[in-house]
Structure 1
């Protein structure tokens, strides 16, 4: 406290206790599939192609995953988890091995041991031409919805312009999933540089990572900036009319333009068809919501040791409000003012007496993702020490 000896104005700095909420990563990619070597059914973290070559043997002709990983890093990716999956003889497995078992954390469930991943890729569904991909995609979608992750679905290679939309609608209509058409073609070092058709997920995951780094997760990974690096051709050249046939059906098209080269030319989730009119129609809106949810979930864990009362709610409003304000200043939301862009509500009105008895703390957050006045609603809950009202 300042020492007062004479009349005048005295200034004393006060420290306001606030739990700061850290922004979580947005583009850690998880790959599941066969590789030429390495530990099986265990998630291994890598940060570049050199590490992948050391741990898993590099590009392998029978490993779609290896080419997807290469494209991920070539397009801007920096962090990945690799889950190597094999059959009983150590060779490439099928849908059963890819899905694995949740109890023993095999197959894609090996990712349950990871602290966090944001993007999921299973490139081997590209080679599943008889319908067996449905089992893999269903399990992968469920895992992503549980882990607040985003699944880039690779359609089988035999899908055509005529049937890609009905296939996608039948396979999943998840807000946490997306698919692209047509496949990409890249030079294959294992075939003297001849073009090889690939599942596009690895390339697009790299584009997501590059876009997140340059602009933020709220920017659509599409358009002139979303160039598909390392791609020499697309399996099918689509024109504007063909693009217009499948884009409204939530199929994201890959296009080639003289001025831009090969680019991603769509940004819809599998819940993004015009007929559904879902609030998470667009990839950046859904990924921004997942980012906010995960950041707030992790950043409010301290609440579980507190009593649910006005003092706690005020701290939460301060912490969450500061986090949302920082995003607003970075351009994450629509609106000219914070009041137009987002709101944070955590007070007596959204805490009933029963909630307080049970120790439930609710934080209601809204943000203007599309245009001012249209709010995407989120609700974050934490369990605290049950408090008597």
Structure 2
């Protein structure tokens, strides 16, 4: 605030700096939407490693294309991902529908009998997510606590152990209080569990202890039966959705959570994602087609969130001629058309990899996970402005593209904006195309023909959107405009120095205009400040032409 001098002397006034650094946003966070045997069905889960995915969603599963895509993403250089699990609405005989419509498949329950013997005092633990996986949970109660009572009728605390017998994850909770007012009550202690949830109604209840285990024996090692004792309780009632997810499952219309952010729109709850992959529906291993309208919804979501959609080839694309017929003018068209196509890229063909769940038998997979990993790796090594294609984009783990092609066949598809995956001599399996789905030669507007150009623009847009929030409600006059030019110009100059733009000088590479020329008084009166940012993008050297001429008797000076 202004200083009000009252005495003769020196006053110190700290003036806020006009410099507000604009930080570039991440460029390689991938989002995967698909099916999994376990995991959250109402909120996206942010992971930073394959181990995170295994812990949250159960790892590789033969019926989940998404699990393989995420594995391939991290194998090829990916570092961060958002996972959205889609489940099919249950059949009528699988679970009772919610009052307002379909619900999710049932989650398993673990029924712990009450020490009092009364049914009303029983405690039911519920698996954290729907699915058959919860049927493999086991729970055990014992009274070997720090304040064990000599008389069981006076026991006030208990220990609880949980185990997922498929993954081996075990959780142990000691000295849980059978007192609804205690800070060690059951609902509080289990709030951090990654296996089960418990209602607050269970607080204050004492479960019955299970039979003591013989010394040195794992209580979860053997099943129940004669001579083995009642050492634990099994999960029961968990069901997987047996139907194939529908468009309503992807859009969230079948979700009992009516917040408008379910299905694929769970991604609206994330801070940012840059790439979106839809690696095939559940129950149809190898089927690349999605329910009608799903790709269009995903592409519109990417357009709104400044992200790119990596599209796998439709099932009908079995041969080069199939692709050429569909993608050429007058054909069935690419999977996406219109304005949303500039934020999407399609890659053909699928890729052959060894499947660890089938004894390393070789089969074909959708390539979106591999391609997303290559994009992320290229961003780190070269920058988002470098085309994620070429001899440096080796596809780790890929044995070969599912359909080999020649240069001439590649030359048929590339002008139609279909990016090819090739096996090249010496360098191996690589990505050999970098066009968006608006990049066909017959497109009248080629502004967004190339993937790196579009991704660089999205990066700049999102970075400036976040980095100029401080401008809102500032006095709209020259001091503000000069500050905007300073900060946006510094951000663009930093990109220029990294080699993101064409041009030898900043003047040739970019421009930032925010002054009286583009902020007339009429806009100022309406509370609008206009900032014009232009840049000269780098275009990939897609075609290399070498002219060779024979010199006959010519003398070089």
Calculate the TM-score normalised by the size of structure 2.
0.62
Cα gap change, 1:136 to 1:224, in 2 (>3 Å):
same
Aligned to 2:202: none
Aligned to 2:266: 110
Aligned to 1:215: 382
CA contact (8 A) 1:307 1:359 kept: no
Structure 2 unaligned regions, length at least 5: 1-14, 90-104, 106-239, 540-557
Cα gap change, 1:59 to 1:132, in 2 (>3 Å):
closer
Task: Using the TM superposition, give the Cα deviation of residue 81 of structure 1 relative to its aligned residue in structure 2, in angstroms.
Answer: 0.4
Aligned to 1:282: 450
How far apart, CA to CA, are the structure 2 residues paired with 1:46 and 1:130? 25
Task: Using the TM superposition, give the Cα deviation of residue 304 of structure 1 relative to its aligned residue in structure 2, in angstroms.
Answer: 0.8
Aligned to 2:321: 162
Equivalent residues in 2 for 1:226-265 (5 A)? 226-265=393-432
How far apart, CA to CA, are the structure 2 residues paired with 1:128 and 1:75? 21
How far apart, CA to CA, are the structure 1 residues paired with 2:484 and 2:375? 31
How far apart, CA to CA, are the structure 1 residues paired with 2:57 and 2:334? 35
Paired residue secondary structure (1:163): helix
How far apart, CA to CA, are the structure 2 residues paired with 1:184 and 1:345? 47
CA contact (8 A) 1:168 1:270 kept: no
Cα gap change, 1:214 to 1:168, in 2 (>3 Å):
farther
CA contact (8 A) 2:246 2:291 kept: no
Equivalent residues in 2 for 1:1-389 (5 A)? 17-88=18-89, 89=105, 90-91=240-241, 93-101=245-253, 103-124=259-280, 132-160=290-318, 161-164=320-323, 165=327, 166-169=331-334, 171-173=336-338, 174-276=341-443, 277-370=445-538
Cα gap change, 1:49 to 1:168, in 2 (>3 Å):
farther
How far apart, CA to CA, are the structure 2 residues paired with 1:316 and 1:304? 12
CA contact (8 A) 2:274 2:307 kept: yes
CA contact (8 A) 1:211 1:226 kept: yes
Paired residue secondary structure (2:453): helix
CA contact (8 A) 2:288 2:312 kept: no
Cα gap change, 1:133 to 1:241, in 2 (>3 Å):
farther
CA contact (8 A) 1:127 1:157 kept: no
Paired residue secondary structure (2:398): coil
How far does the alpha carbon of each residue in 1:10-46 deviate from its partner, in whole angstroms, 9 at most, with x for none?
A: xxxx995311100100010011110111111310000
CA contact (8 A) 2:64 2:285 kept: no
How far apart, CA to CA, are the structure 1 residues paired with 2:317 and 2:22? 44
How far apart, CA to CA, are the structure 1 residues paired with 2:309 and 2:402? 22
> Which stretch of the first structure deviates more once superposed, 70-79 or 351-360?
351-360
Task: Using the TM superposition, give the Cα deviation of residue 230 of structure 1 relative to its aligned residue in structure 2, in angstroms.
Answer: 0.8
How far apart, CA to CA, are the structure 2 residues paired with 1:159 and 1:188? 22
Cα gap change, 1:170 to 1:26, in 2 (>3 Å):
closer
Cα gap change, 1:15 to 1:41, in 2 (>3 Å):
closer
Aligned to 2:224: none
CA contact (8 A) 1:182 1:235 kept: yes
Find the structure with the greater CA-based Rg: 2
How far apart, CA to CA, are the structure 2 residues paired with 1:76 and 1:156? 26
Paired residue secondary structure (1:58): coil
Task: Using the TM superposition, give the Cα deviation of residue 133 of structure 1 relative to its aligned residue in structure 2, in angstroms.
Answer: 4.3
How far apart, CA to CA, are the structure 2 residues paired with 1:33 and 1:130? 12
How far does the alpha carbon of each residue in 1:146-205 deviate from its partner, in whole angstroms, 9 at most, with x for none?
A: 011111011223313223324553532411000000001111111000112111110000
CA contact (8 A) 1:32 1:108 kept: yes
How far apart, CA to CA, are the structure 2 residues paired with 1:82 and 1:51? 11
Q: RMSD value over aligned CA atoms?
A: 1.9
How far apart, CA to CA, are the structure 2 residues paired with 1:328 and 1:244? 33
How far does the alpha carbon of each residue in 1:333-387 deviate from its partner, in whole angstroms, 9 at most, with x for none?
A: 011111111111111111122211121111111111147xxxxxxxxxxxxxxxx
Task: Using the TM superposition, give the Cα deviation of residue 309 of structure 1 relative to its aligned residue in structure 2, in angstroms.
Answer: 1.0
How far apart, CA to CA, are the structure 2 residues paired with 1:86 and 1:336? 53
Paired residue secondary structure (1:123): coil
Paired residue secondary structure (2:517): helix
How far apart, CA to CA, are the structure 1 residues paired with 2:23 and 2:398? 36
How far apart, CA to CA, are the structure 2 residues paired with 1:218 and 1:292? 11
Structure richer in helix, relative to its length = 1
CA contact (8 A) 1:334 1:341 kept: yes
Cα gap change, 1:128 to 1:69, in 2 (>3 Å):
closer
